[in-house]
Structure 1
Amino acid sequence: MKAAADDATPVPQVISEAPLIFSLSHSLALIDRSFGIDRIIADSGDEFVDSYYRQSLPGYSRLYNPWQCMHLPLHDGTLSEGEAFFAQAAEVARHLDDRPGQRVLELGCGLGANSLHLAERLPHVSFLGTDLMAQHVERAEAKARKLPNLGFRQASFEDLPEDLGQFDAIFGIETLCYANDPGPVARLIARHLRPGGHVVLFDAHRKPGFANFPEDLVTATKLYEITTAVARGFHDEGRWQEAFAAAELEVTAAEDVTEQTRAGLVRLHSRATKAFTERKWRMALRVIPRYFARNAVAGLVGYHVCFGDRVAPEVRRGPITYQKIVARKPTA
C-alpha cells in the first residue's frame, strides 16, 4: 500500500455505537498518510526492541498512566482505573499465601510498577524484577529504595542467571511476546520455579487461522506488532501452553480475557485519533523519535485487532486474543 498525499485528510468514518472509534479502513488511511504502511511493514523481523523502549520512555514514564505501567489495563466493570492497571498483578498475588520466605520473579518488569505494587502490599514476600533495559532498572531501583523486600536486576528472560535461585511465582506481563522461541524460555522458567510454584503469563497471541482473516485486519495486526516492537509477530495461540507442557509444567489456566481490554483500547484509540487529526499533533509526529511516534499507530489499530471492525465489536472477529496463562511446577 502506497502512502497517500499528506494534504489529503480523509473524512472521518466512525462506528456509531462507539463514536470515538474510527473504522479500520479510515484508521489505515490515516496511518498510510502519516507513516506509510509499507514503510512500517518493511521493519517486520527486525530487532529494535532496545531503540523502541529508549525512545518510548517519555511516553511510558509521563503520559500513559500515573503508575508508569507499560501494559493494558483489564476492566471487568467493577474496577477503578488503578485497579484495572494492576489486575494482572492481582492474579499473581492469588498464587501466594501467608508463608514467610516466598520469592517472586518478574520478567520484563519495565519501570517496575507491578513489582512495586505487589511488594508494598505483601511485605512478607521477596520480589525481584528483571528487565533488559538498564534505564528501566535504574528508574525502578530509585522507586524501590524504601522497600527492603524488592530488588531489580538487568537480565534477559532468555538468559536468566543461575544465581537468581528459585521462586514460588514467576510472571511476565506483555513481555514474553518478545521471546525468540517459547521452548527454551519455558525450560528456564521451569528451572527457576520451586516445586508447587506457578508461572503467570498475560499476553497477546495470534488466533488459529490468522492468515485467513480479512486482509485489512491482518495488515492492522502486523502494524500493531511492529509498532510495539514485536517485529517477528505475536506467538500463535497455544504455543506457550505447548512450551510449558514440554518443560513439564502443568497448565492450570488458559483464559481469553480480551473483552477486559476493551475500555483501555478504546481510550488509546481516542487518544491516537488526535495525533492523526489535530494539526499540532500531526506536526509533532514528524519531529519526535520514530519509534515513539509509531505508538500512535498501535493506539489507533489496537482496538480493531482485538474486536474487528463491526458496528457492534465482537471478540471473535479480531485476529488477536489477549490471554491469561497459568502453569504449575509439580511437587513430585
Structure 2
Amino acid sequence: MPVPTTDRSLSQALQQIAAVFDIDALLQQHHDRQSRSAQSQTIDPISEPIASGAALKQEIVRYYQQSEIGYRKYHSQQGSIHMAIDDGTRYEPSGYYTQPKQVAEHVRALQARSVLEVGCGKGFNSRFLAQTFPDVQFLGLDLTPLHVRLASRAARLYENLQFRLGDFNQTGLAANGTDLVFGVDCLCHAASVSAVLTELYRVLRPGGRLTIFDGFRRPGFDRQTSDLQTASQLVEIGMAVPMGFRTVEAWLEAARSLGFTAVETRDRTAGILPTLDRLQALALRFFKHPWRARLLKFWMPPYLIRNSVAGLLMPYTCTLDSGTHSYYQLVLEKSAAPSDR
C-alpha cells in the first residue's frame, strides 16, 4: 500500500488510535520521563538519572518479553527483531540480512578477531556472522533473559559464538580488547548517549570500529505540526523508546567528544519503507474494528498491543520529504592512539 503523507490521513490515523487508546495518558507518561531527564543535575543534556535508567531497563525487558510472540509471528520467524532494509519498493525477508552483511564488510576491513554485538536480541545477526567467519570470535550481549536463552540454544552449533546477559552501558569486558562493536535497532533505548558511547569506546581497541543501525529524530522537531509531533511520540512510546529518539547530530557530537571519528553516516530511511508499509497493513487489521481492538487491549500484554500504534504511524513519521524520524547507519572509529578511557 502507498505511504500516506497528507495531514488529513494522519489525522484519521490518530482518530483510529484514540478510539482504542487513551492518547493523553500515553503522552503524559512520555512527558513525565522527559521532565525527569531535564531535571537531571548531570552535565550531559541527553542523560538520565541512574534510578530512571534502571527503571528504563526494566521497561525495555518487559517490552521485548511481552512482544516476543508478535515478533515471531508477524515480523520474522528466523529471529530477526530489526528493520529490513530493501533495495526495491517491496518488502523482502532477505532485507533482514542487510545489516549483518554491512557489518561483515567491517570485519573484513579490520581483519577483526573479536566482535561484540550489543542488544543482540535472539542472535540473528551474530549467528549469520559466526557462520560467515568461523575463525572470528563473536559475543552477543542483551538485557532480556528470554532473548539470551533463545540465542544460546542456536549458539551451540558454533564454537566461535556465545551469548550473555549484559548491558551495553556496562559490558564487563576488558578495555581496548575488541576489534568491532555493533548494535542494530537497540541503542535507541539508551538512557544516556554519552554513557553508552563511553563504554563502547572503552572496550574497542585503538583503531576499532562501532557500527550502529538505528532510528533517529530529524532536526526541527519542534517546528512540525502538532499531529506529527504527537504521532512521533506515540511511535517512540510504542517501540519502548520513552526517552525519544535523539538526532544523528547529537550522537555524532557525543562521539566526537570522546575521540571517535565518523567513518560513515548513511541515511537508510528509504530502505525500510517497504517494511513500514507491511507493518502498517498489519496494524490496520487491528484497528479496523475498534470494539474488538479494545477487548484485545485488555486481554493481551500492554507492550505487545502498543506495537500496533507504532505500526500504524511509522509510515507518516518516516516520510522522506516531511517526516520526523529517519533510519541511519553510522560507522565510528576509535582513535588509533592508546586511550585511558
TM-score by length of 2: 0.85
Give deviations 1:76-111, integer Å, cap 9, x for gaps.
Answer: 129982331111111111101288771110010111
Residue of structure 2 equivalent to 1:303: 315
1:39 aligns with 2:51: no
Residue of structure 2 equivalent to 1:153: 164
Q: Contact 2:176 / 2:206 at 8 angstroms: preserved in 1?
A: no
Residue of structure 1 equivalent to 2:263: 252
Single out whichever of 88-97 and 265-274 deviates more from structure 2. 88-97
1:181 aligns with 2:192: yes
Residue of structure 1 equivalent to 2:281: 270
1:211 aligns with 2:216: no
Q: Contact 2:142 / 2:167 at 8 angstroms: preserved in 1?
A: yes
Question: Gaps (5+ residues) in structure 2?
Answer: 34-54
Looking at secondary structure, tell me which structure has more helix per residue.
2
Q: Contact 1:210 / 1:319 at 8 angstroms: preserved in 2?
A: yes
Residue of structure 2 equivalent to 1:8: none
Residue of structure 2 equivalent to 1:316: 321
Q: What is the CA distance between 1:280 and its match in structure 2?
A: 8.8
The one of 58, 70, 80 aligned to 2:69: 58
Residue of structure 2 equivalent to 1:29: 15
Q: Which runs of 4+ in 1 moved over 6 A?
A: 98-101
Structure 1 distance, partners of 2:230, 2:138, is 39
The one-letter code of the counterpart of 1:28 is L
Structure 2 distance, partners of 1:261, 1:305, is 12
Single out whichever of 216-225 and 276-285 deviates more from structure 2. 276-285
Q: Contact 1:100 / 1:125 at 8 angstroms: preserved in 2?
A: no
Residue of structure 2 equivalent to 1:11: none
* Two-structure CA RMSD over aligned residues (Å): 2.3
Question: Gaps (5+ residues) in structure 1?
Answer: 1-14, 308-314
Q: Contact 1:109 / 1:129 at 8 angstroms: preserved in 2?
A: yes
Matching of residues 1-332 of structure 1 within 5 Å: 17=2, 23-44=9-30, 45=33, 47=56, 48-77=59-88, 81-97=92-108, 102-163=113-174, 166-278=177-289, 282=293, 283-307=295-319, 315-332=320-337
Provide the secondary structure at the position in 2 that maps to 1:130: strand
Q: What is the CA distance between 1:62 and its match in structure 2?
A: 3.2
Structure 1 distance, partners of 2:112, 2:316, is 44
How many residues are aligned here?
Answer: 309
Q: Contact 2:90 / 2:274 at 8 angstroms: preserved in 1?
A: no
TM-score by length of 1: 0.87
| Percent pairwise identity | 34
Q: Contact 1:110 / 1:137 at 8 angstroms: preserved in 2?
A: yes
